[in-house]
Amino acid sequence: MLKYAMIGGGPGAFVGGVHRRALALNGTAKLVAGCFSRDLEKTRAIGLELGLDEDRLYATPEEMTRLEAGDIDFAVVVTSNEAHYPNVKTCLEYGIHVMCDKPFTITSAQAEELVALASEKELILAVTYTYAGYPMVRQAREMIERGDLGDIRFVNCEYPQGWLAEMLETTGHTQASWRADPERGGATLSLGDVGSHVEHLVPFVTGLNLTRLAARLDTLVEGRTLDDNGVILTEYDTSARGMYWYSQAATGCVNGLKLRIFGDKGGLEWFQEDPDHLRYTPIGHPPQIIVRGMPEMLPGAIPYSHTPPGHPEGWLQAFANIYSAFCATIEHGVTPDFPTGEDGLRGVRFIEACVESSRNGTTWIDLA
């Protein structure tokens, strides 16, 4: 079994526990060390609860990586965004493979540095763009690859949430507070938080490369300084066009990630809140619903499906699927089939391009 350490994911944290449960679900890696918080007492509290040895609970990530390098196979970075860059860098400098959550870094210069460092040290650097781990997302990708949709004409991806439809960040809400603080969350609030998933999902599924965009980032909730809603027009390296919408001020929406792809032979729709179903419409025919676990599943999607059809799978299994591929690469050196540091870098460049476009009155920006 592989051994890993975690940075972030302390008491009350949102996503660190999900990473731990996903890794436990796979049974391929064991948590052995942690710096779960900037506060050592909090790290001790949760570390002991998780059954870790007291002498493997650390006051700082630097101390942990220095003393654990050689004893762990990888580290997981699940801190607030501003702490990704320094902690991933420290791990890489000590020769440790890293899984980091998104958005990868605050600036693209930081992301470039980390990608170069990982490459120089021949280390595996991955980013948890979770939706790449869903079986029906893999199914959609493979159907497009084999030509079921023909040439893609238009992509529409939206990711509305409603949990920031009120000024939660002034109420002491931990996750809202740092996300709304440019020093800790980055130059955008909701674009980095949920728009980043849209940016990754579209090319992952369609194979299209984004070449140009025009963005309008809005702040819908009075009193907020950063964006909580945005619309982005997109162009790709083919004649395909697209439109993205993300929001965290979409009152009543929970986690409404939806992807619709329209080709000259057929269309596909996938909705994250109904993740086991993919709606496929060949041109001139009625829609078909492809159900996870049923015989229509394609070879690349089958390993991502674990329970019989009609027994829903979702977010936790998607994290676990990404970790399966990541751990397989560490153990057996197989070709990475998970979102990498390069994907994370492209995501940060996308955020910067959207900010520039929006500040300049929604002008078109060419992506290098």
Ligand X SMILES: NC(=O)c1ccc[n+]([C@@H]2O[C@H](COP(=O)([O-])OP(=O)(O)OC[C@H]3O[C@@H](n4cnc5c(N)ncnc54)[C@H](O)[C@@H]3O)[C@@H](O)[C@H]2O)c1
Which residues would be at the binding site for ligand X (CB under 6 A)?
7-10, 13-16, 35-38, 61, 78-81, 83, 101-102, 128, 130, 174-175, 178, 193
| Smallest separation, CB 14 to ligand X (Å) | 3
Helices (H), 52-83: 61-68
As a whole number of angstroms, the distance between CA 58 and CA 170 comes to: 31
Burial of 299 (0-12, 13-18, 19+ CB in 10 A): exposed
DSSP 167: -
Nearer to ligand X among residue 158 and residue 235 (C-beta): 158
In 3D space, the residue among 242, 139, 154, 144 whose CA is nearest the CA of residue 198 turns out to be 242
Nearer to ligand X among residue 242 and residue 344 (C-beta): 344
Neighbouring residues of 179: CB distance < 8 A, sequence distance ≥ 6: 80, 81, 169, 185, 189, 192, 193
Nearer to ligand X among residue 189 and residue 240 (C-beta): 189
Residue type, 57: L
- How many CA atoms lie within 13 Å of 229's alpha carbon, on the beta-carbon side? 15
As a whole number of angstroms, the distance between CA 56 and CA 79 comes to: 19
| Smallest separation, CB 320 to ligand X (Å) | 13
Nearer to ligand X among residue 79 and residue 108 (C-beta): 79
| Smallest separation, CB 257 to ligand X (Å) | 10
Two structure tokens written together for 108: 């693209």
| Smallest separation, CB 174 to ligand X (Å) | 5
| Smallest separation, CB 164 to ligand X (Å) | 12
Nearer to ligand X among residue 28 and residue 43 (C-beta): 43
Nearer to ligand X among residue 16 and residue 160 (C-beta): 16
Two structure tokens written together for 264: 């000259």
| Smallest separation, CB 67 to ligand X (Å) | 15
Residue type, 153: R
